[in-house]
Structure 1
Amino acid sequence: MSIQFEFKDIVEETRQVKRRVLITGIAMLLLFGFLITRLIYLQIIQHDHFITLSQNNRVKVVPIAPIRGLIYSRDGVLLAENQPAFSLEVIPEKVNDLDVLLSEISLIIDIREDDIARFWKSLREKRRFESVPLKFNLNEAEVARFSVQNHRFPAVEVIARPYRRYPENELTAHIIGYVGRIDDNDLQTVDVSNYLGSTHIGKIGVEKAYENILHGQVGHQQVEVNAQGRVIRVLERTPPIPGKNIFLTIDIGLQKIAMKSLQGKRGAIVAMDPANGDILALVSAPSYDPNLFVNGIDYETYNSLLSSKDTPLVNRALQGTYPPGSTIKPFLGLTALTYGIREPDDTIWCPGWYRLKGSSHLYRDWKREGHGEVDFNYAIMQSCDVYYYDTANDLGITRLHDGLVNFGFSNKTGIDIGGEAAGLLPSPEWKRKTYDQPWYPGETLIAGIGQGSLLVTPLQLVNATASLANNGKLYAPHLAAVSADQISHERNDIQTIRSSEIGIYQAAQWEIIKQAMIDVVHGERGTARGSGYNSKFRMAGKTGTAQVIAIAQDEEYKEEDIPEELQDHALFIAFAPAEEPSIAVAVIVENGGSGSSSAAPIARQLFDYYLAGYQEG
């Protein structure tokens, strides 16, 4: 047996070991370098990213709704304010069974049926993860009872919010309007990002028209929350910018007198400063309480308002359209003077009726026995229908139509709140398009005394009346005057005064119309002479009585025998002082009968207060 020995190359083995150690070292160095690089990337380069991911688990950005601007009258009376109140609100996405939740909460706090109905309605209109109010205006006892049980309801909170309140209630409802809960339609018209955290928005009136001024700018805060979503602390806060206050042109004392004068009646009153278009008073009666709408009106109350025969939700001053009756005569008379159809001294004979050539139909004057010989001044002072039948016939419907358009009739005035009606000036083209019928000469006569299809709004009437006071200058009517910053109190004009000229009339013609209107109130035989008695200033006015139903030409009737809703409307337009007018008014009392007995005395009350500081009662 032989033993064999294997001799190895010690040098070669040493070389191989070194090579392996080197390779292993390089590999470990590369691995260590990769780890260091990755650590640098994660800890330094991606630091902000991972901090954000971490904070998203415990930090939230919460919007802060701005405080809404207040609304004041021109004399500083508060018309819209923010009142702190507690509401019970639910985040539906955090609730498995809303019916069960509502039942459990109702054992702690009294939840009425209308609260639940309003909750479901708001739920359908809400934005995702927005809380939905279940009950408004919790008292201290209710807040305390729920606070004890709060841990059982992680999706329910008692939230303190400023809620809109209208301290004058019905008095300014048709001016201010109201705010309501934001719905999808509202979000189509605003910057949604600026309404995060906000629950209400202007719906109608000044509240809607000046939403961009009243709302303000949303703020936000970063808050740390626990696992239950409760706020632990505030990390960062950007305060909201409150909305600006608005001062209106409304004289609240005048507004109260106007409202009181229509108490128990249906109608409208508008008072304007003819020098600039400021609306001094605007009343539509009956009115409603805008506070009902702020947090959602219940169905029964809303249906009652909607179905009322008195239509309190309709703004008669802007949306009501009425035959102007004889209040149209000053404008038609001025048109006749301009076209040379009439001269101031021209006279016609009024036997109490008018008949077109070749016709047997009689168009009656309000004074059955007639006025006798009538000139331009007397025709306005005594409101002679026959004179204006003849004038309208001589003018023809085209010139009659075009002349009245000059005063703004059939066009919206451009007032700064929405919902305005345009009224209607009939014409052959309009009738053909609407009814596919020809125009008849008798319709021109009826339009000449402000009847038939001719319709105007109270706002149009006062605007046109102001143009008479201004010798043809038409100012755009407006309700908002200035805005005021809630913090700095800096004031800025909201309105740029807009005006236009009716330049086709001569200066002497304006004075002829004014004198005739002065004689309506202060002349011995003026139709409104009772309202001018013992006045400290001179007024220029015109009465009007508009038929609601047609009466046969030979039919005898007594006003009291006609149902109230079919009785004549009473109208009156006026401005004062006649020499230097500072106020113009239009008054309409629905089914009030004669303009001289129902509407003119109301205008006198307004003038007495505004010009002489006299107030009854």
Structure 2
Amino acid sequence: MGFPRWSRLGSDLRRAPGRVRARVTTARGRGGPSRRRSRTSHADPPRGGSCRPGRVGSRPHLRRHPRGHRGGHLLSTARSGDSGGECPLHRAAGARDISRCATSPPRHREAGGVRSLVRQPSRAFVSVRRFIAFGVAIVVIFSTLTARLYDLEIVRGDYYHQLSEQNRIVRLPVPAERGGIVDRNGYVLARNIPGFAISVIPVDLSRTREDELSQRLAALLDLPSDAIGDVIRAQRIRNPYEPVRISKTPVPREIALVVTERAELFPGVRVDPESIRFYVDGTLYAPVIGYTGPITEQELAKLKDSGYLPDDDVGRTGIEDVYEQFLRGTYGWREIERDAAQREIKTLALQRATVGNTVSLTIDDRLQKLLDAELRKGVDEDKFTQAVGVAINPQNGEILAMVSIPGYDNNMFARGISTAELAALNADDRHPLVNKAIGDRYPAGSTFKMVTGLSALSAGTATRDTVVNVSASSFSVSGTTFYDWRAHGSLDFVHGFAHSSDIYFYTLAAGTPFAPNVHGVGPDAIAKYARMLGFGAPTGIDLPGEDGGIMPDPQWKIATFDEPWTIGNTYQEAIGQGFVAVTPLQLLNAYASVANGGTLWQPHLLKQVTDAAGKTLPIPQWTSQKLDMTQENLRLIREAARRVVTIGHAYMPNLKIPIAGKTGTAEFGASAGKDSAGRNKLGFHNWFVSFVPQADNTDPTAQIAMAIFTYDSSKSLCELCLNPAVGMTQRILEQYLGPNK
């Protein structure tokens, strides 16, 4: 066999990329032994790689054949004189593996390529490096863990121990019952009854049944199913082991029974006993007592430091709102132990809650029911649109009764009012949610003549003997006609008041042709004394939502309408029409100040507060102010008011008690149909404000004063003599104060 061509060798090398440093031995030629070294390095091939060529005269070098000979046979490398130039390795390995040997003949190299002779890292060396890297990683990891453990156990051990104790031992609040509300005689008006709270424990409810449960609870509790689902999912994220309340207000026993008896339909639902606020007479006291409702987020932010919690109820309006600080109880606490899953194991300690204080009102339940029955009868039978009744003790400002019709049942709010129920109340144009005794204002009508009379008497422009000859029922000024309900003839002050002559009081206010020698007191003086009597400002009663009314004067009109005051405005003001607007309580309190001899009291409903042990607690001091009016003038008004009932406009036959008072009939803007000329007729309110002295005299001894107001209760002027409030007053006061009371 001849020498291989270098070109063939080069092609062989090209076919073995990366194996450029190869030692190549040519096959022996025909002419005898011959050996040529390549110009490449003489470095040995790596251990376990290709066969190493033998040298002439050397002893056979035993090697394990690489990969192809897995049996581990010891083979001798070929001597230079072996025939065919093939080493025994080739013969032992077979033609298939000859290409693995770098000393194979050219044909072998062509078939298998030249194997690299560059020394590569051994497997043992690689294994050592990997072992070292793995060991270093282990050391780093354990060092980090050790440092963290040291921080947790040594550096911050006390802190985390405290946290673990807090997670294991928890102090839970124990709700306190709200205090009761009673009338002046101890009759219960508001108390607590057993109710139930509906909650869901997310961990006991599979996710696949969340929607189903939300829809079922929504139908039962009249709540949006989406909102229920959101609450459950949020609690599942926060703490799935803790119950989350679904209904903010307690539910009645009937709903709780549905849940407990059909437990398979309500997975994860928990029913816990809880108090429900109950109002004994519902609609009778709703405008006064009000109701409670769930605390809002804004309120909680303000009251959190006072011990309020997210599920608390607070007073929303009425007495429940104003005296929240007395009615609210003091939370107790219960210390419990929990397991790792936050489930309660046992109670470790208990501090009982303290019930709220009992609030006693000045209201007399008996009078309240008499007043309510008469007003409801008028609304139902006589078709009044609205009716209001208020009674007060003139000697101290205590409210004895307060009725506003239409009203609402505050138990709806206590149990959780539905969306439909609330929408119906808001849509009612009679405004049943408003306490009309203090929250609505109306024209005072002829009841305001007391103010005009006192203004003229106090200013010196009129006396008891001031006479006006009302010879006609109307007169005109500057093209405007002003009317009286009849031509009365000559009237002095008492008879002008008793017969409620409009022209008489027009004359006292601004002068008329019927009494040229009488100069009117003017609008500024009327406004001055009206404000002294409490008009134009809230009375300060301990209820929310009080309106201040309107007491106009020339400056008020310019500021409000940018128009000058006219004499017509003064005439209208004198008889309680025009811009004058009062609340029933304002009007009543003004009359009460006359009945008691000249003291304007702050009206109030709170009589007493007692704690659970029966101890009386301090309450606010009620204010009063003296009227800058003479006793003579006040006595004259009381006398004239008594004549209203005995000979005048509110004549009461067979009267058993000495009632005094003043009627009022005021026009308002609602149409009452058409008159005979086709003009719109205006409807009328009716008033009767009264007080009862202890004897039939003019002494300031009255123990009760009362105002009744009926809205849209007269349809024409001819019915003025049939003021329904007069008959109501007589029946109520005779039953309340009469011999058969």
Q: TM-score, normalising length from structure 1? A: 0.83
Which residue pairs with 1:165 in the alignment?
A: 278
Q: CA–CA distance in 2 between the matches of 1:404 and 1:120? A: 55
Aligned CA distance change for structure 1 residues 599 and 500 (closer, same or farther; 3 Å): same
Q: Equivalent residue for 2:330? A: 217
Amino acid paired to 1:244:
N
C-alpha contact (below 8 Å) 1:69/1:215 kept by paired residues = yes
1:570/1:595 contact within 8 Å kept: no
Structure 2 CA distance for aligned equivalents of residues 560 and 589 of structure 1? 26
Q: Distance in 2 between matches of 1:322 and 1:372?
A: 31
Task: For residues 311-366 of structure 1, give each alpha carbon's deviation from its aligned partner in whole angstroms, at most 9, with x where no partner exists.
Answer: 21111100110100000111210111110110111101113345466x24221102
Cα deviations by residue, 1:372-425 (Å, 9 ceiling, x for unpaired):
111100111000000111111111111111111110000100000110000001
User: Does structure 1 retain, via aligned residues, the 8 Å contact 2:218–2:228?
Assistant: no
Q: What secondary structure does 1:268 align onto?
A: strand
Change (3 A) 1:539 1:319: same
Equivalent residue of 2:434, what SS?
coil
> Which residue of structure 2 aligns with residue 349 of structure 1?
469
Q: Which residue of 1 aligns with 2:193?
A: 83
Query: Which amino acid in the other structure matches residue 245 of structure 2?
Result: S
Which residue does 1:291 correspond to in 2?
411
Mapped to 2, the partners of 1:101 and 1:208 lie a distance apart of 37
Query: How far is the alpha carbon of 1:440 from its aligned partner?
Result: 1.2
Q: Does 2:494 align with 1:377? A: yes
Q: Is the 8 A contact 1:355 1:363 kept in 2?
A: yes
Hey, what's the Cα distance between the residues in 2 that align with 1:206 and 1:437? 42
* Secondary structure of the corresponding residue to residue 519 of structure 1: helix
Kindly provide the amino acid, as one letter, of the partner of residue 583 in structure 1: I
Q: What does residue 482 of structure 2 align with? A: 363
Of 356, 367, 386, which aligns to 1:243? 356
2:646 to 512, 522, 540: 522
The secondary structure found in structure 2 opposite 1:344 is coil
1:441-590 superposed matches below 5 A: 441-486=567-612, 488-492=613-617, 494-502=619-627, 504-523=628-647, 526-530=648-652, 533-549=653-669, 557=675, 566-577=682-693, 579=699, 580-590=701-711
Match for residue 346 of structure 2 among 219, 223, 233: 233
Supply the AA of the counterpart residue of 1:315.
N
CA distance in 2, matches of 1:528, 1:223: 71
The aligned counterpart of 1:389 is 506
| Distance of 1:607 and 1:296 partners within structure 2 | 38
Which residue pairs with 1:116 in the alignment? 224
Give 1:188 shift.
4.8
CA distance in 1, matches of 2:431, 2:310: 35
* Rg (Cα) greater in structure: 2
1:18-55 per-residue CA deviation (whole Å, 9 max, x = no partner) reads xxxxxxxxxxxxxxxxxxxx99x979x99865542332
Gaps of 5+ in 2: 1-148, 511-519, 715-719
Contact (CA 8 Å) 1:328, 1:449: kept in 2 or not? Answer: yes
Match of 2:555 among 422, 429, 434: 429
2:636 maps to a residue whose letter is: I
Q: Distance in 1 between matches of 2:488 and 2:224?
A: 67
SS at match of 1:302: helix
Which residue is 1:33 aligned to?
none
Change (3 A) 1:273 1:149: same
Please state how far the C-alpha of 1:158 moved relative to its aligned partner: 1.4
In structure 1, distance between residues paired with 2:678 and 2:186: 44
Q: What is the alpha-carbon distance in structure 2 between the residues aligned to residue 395 and residue 529 of structure 1?
A: 30
Residue matched to 2:73? none
The 3-state SS of whatever aligns with 2:223 is helix
Following the alignment from structure 1 to structure 2, what is the Cα–Cα distance between the partners of residues 437 and 122? 58
Structure 1 stretch displaced more, 225-234 or 475-484: 225-234
Q: Secondary structure at the match of 1:162?
A: strand
1:87/1:138 contact within 8 Å kept: no
Work out the CA distance in 1 between the residues paired with 2:465 and 2:202.
79
Report what 2:526 is aligned to. 400
Aligned partners of 2:677 and 2:313: how far apart in 1?
49
Residue of structure 1 in register with 2:449 after alignment: 329
| 8 A contact 2:214–2:229 mirrored in 1 | no
Corresponding residue number in structure 1 for 2:97: none
Alignment partner of 1:414: what SS? coil
Q: Which amino acid aligns with 1:529?
A: Y
Specify which of 290, 297, 316 is matched with residue 177 of structure 1: 290
Q: How far apart are the structure 2 equivalents of 1:517 and 1:251?
A: 26
Over the matched positions of the two proteins, sequence identity in percent amounts to: 32
How many angstroms apart in 2 are the aligned matches of 1:190 and 1:310? 34
Deviations 1:217-274 (A, max 9, x none): 2222221123443322111222222210111111111111111111123121110001
- The aligned counterpart of 1:10 is none
Q: Could you say which residue in structure 1 is the equivalent of 2:23?
A: none
Q: Which one is further off, 435-444 or 51-60? A: 51-60
Residues 93 and 277 of structure 1: CA distance in aligned 2, closer, same or farther (over 3 Å): farther
Partner secondary structure for residue 216 of structure 1: coil
Check whether the contact 2:260–2:271 (CA below 8 A) recurs between aligned residues.
no
Match of 2:122 in 1: none
- The alpha carbon displacement at 1:371 in A equals 0.5
**Aligned alpha-carbon RMSD (Å):** 3.3
3-state SS of 2:688 partner: strand
Per the alignment, residue 133 of structure 1 pairs with: 247
- Describe the SS at the equivalent of 1:547: strand
Q: Is the 8 A contact 1:119 1:132 kept in 2?
A: no
- Quickly say closer, same or farther: Cα 1:494–1:96, change in 2 above 3 A: farther
Match for 2:483: what amino acid?
R
Per-residue deviation, residues 420-472 of structure 1 (Å, max 9, x unmatched): 00000112222112212111111110110100110000010111011011121
Deviates more, 1:570-579 or 1:507-516: 570-579
Aligned to 1:310: 430
Relative to structure 1, the CA distance from residue 561 to residue 81 in structure 2 (aligned partners, 3 Å threshold; closer, same or farther) is: farther
Conserved 8 A contact 1:254-1:280: yes
Residue of 375, 390, 398 corresponding to 1:278: 398
- Residue in 2 that maps onto 1:612: 738
Equivalent of residue 259 in structure 1, options 363, 369, 372: 372
Cα distance, 1:299–1:62 mapped onto 2, change above 3 Å:
same
CA contact (8 A) 1:413 1:460 kept: yes
One-letter amino acid matched to 1:492: L
CA contact (8 A) 1:91 1:132 kept: no
For 1:9, the equivalent position in structure 2 comes to none
Q: Which has the higher contact order (CA 8 A, sep 6+)?
A: 1
Task: Give the number of aligned pairs.
Answer: 557
Describe how 1:96-115 pairs up with structure 2 within 5 A: 100-104=209-213, 111-112=219-220, 114-115=222-223
Q: CA deviation digits over 1:176-210, x for unaligned, max 9?
A: 00001111232255344511264211000000000
Q: Aligned to 2:669, what secondary structure does the other structure show?
A: coil
Contact (CA 8 Å) 2:214, 2:226: kept in 1 or not? no
Alignment CA distance shift 1:229-1:543 (3 Å): same
Pairwise CA distance, 1:92: 7.7
